[in-house]
Amino acid sequence: MVKTGFYTLSLTALISVSILLIGCGNSGTDLVYNDGSGVSIRASGSGIFVTNNTPKDIHNFLIEQNAAAYTDWIAGCNDINKIVAGGINEILYADILNYRKECDLLFYWWNCKQAESGGQIPEALKSISLKTK
């Protein structure tokens, strides 16, 4: 039993290290994105600007593509990473987990809706891969 647990941990560590050593490929959309949905993204010298031209608030999460392989996260409906309707938010490169300029970024965004319990719950996630070069 202990051996199996150690083996699983070792294999996970090996895969994580392999991902980091392989480096990054760029296969995403250019780092200017606007699909007509009302959410647009563009790069600046210090970070990524996200514009929310939709009638509803959006929530978002931005991560480097390789870090996404070993990072667990869930969509939430609090004020963290919230962009109000008609608002613009800058996400600094320093705030992006494992950010490296040669690696693609994964950008996720979602709306929230009223839950029967009275709180807010996330709706379907949308995502796009963004090139950084």
SS3 assignment, position 124: coil
Question: Measured in Å, how far apart are the chain's first and last C-alpha atoms?
Answer: 46
Domain assignment of residue 71, yes or no: yes
Is 31 contained in some domain?
A: yes
Look up the domain containing 32 and give its range. 26-130
Task: Quick: pLDDT tens for 68-83.
Answer: 989 999 999 999 899 9
Asked whether residue 5 is domain-assigned, the answer is: no
Q: Is residue 9 part of a domain?
A: no
| Residue 4 falls inside a structural domain | no
> Token digits for 108?
């996720």
Domain CATH number, residue 42:
2.60.40
- Asked if residue 19 lies in contact with residue 66, where contact means CB atoms within 8 angstroms, the answer is yes
The answer to whether residue 21 is domain-embedded is no
Instruction: Indicate the pLDDT class of residue 23, thresholds 50, 70 and 90.
Output: low
Arithmetic mean of pLDDT over the chain: 80
CB 114 within 8 A of CB 15: no
More confident residue, 77 or 130: 77
- In this prediction, residue 133 has a pLDDT band, given cuts at 50, 70 and 90, of low
Check whether 17 has a pLDDT greater than 50. Answer: no
Is a pLDDT exceeding 90 seen at residue 58? yes
Residue 18 lies in a domain: no
Number of domains, the chain: 1
Is 16 among the domain residues? no
Is there a contact between 64 and 98 (Cβ–Cβ < 8 Å)?
yes
User: What pLDDT does residue 41 have?
Assistant: 93
Structural contact between residues 125 and 70, judged by C-beta atoms closer than 8 angstroms: no
Instruction: Please tell me which of 1-10, 26-35, 113-122 the model is most confident about, judged by mean pLDDT.
Output: 113-122
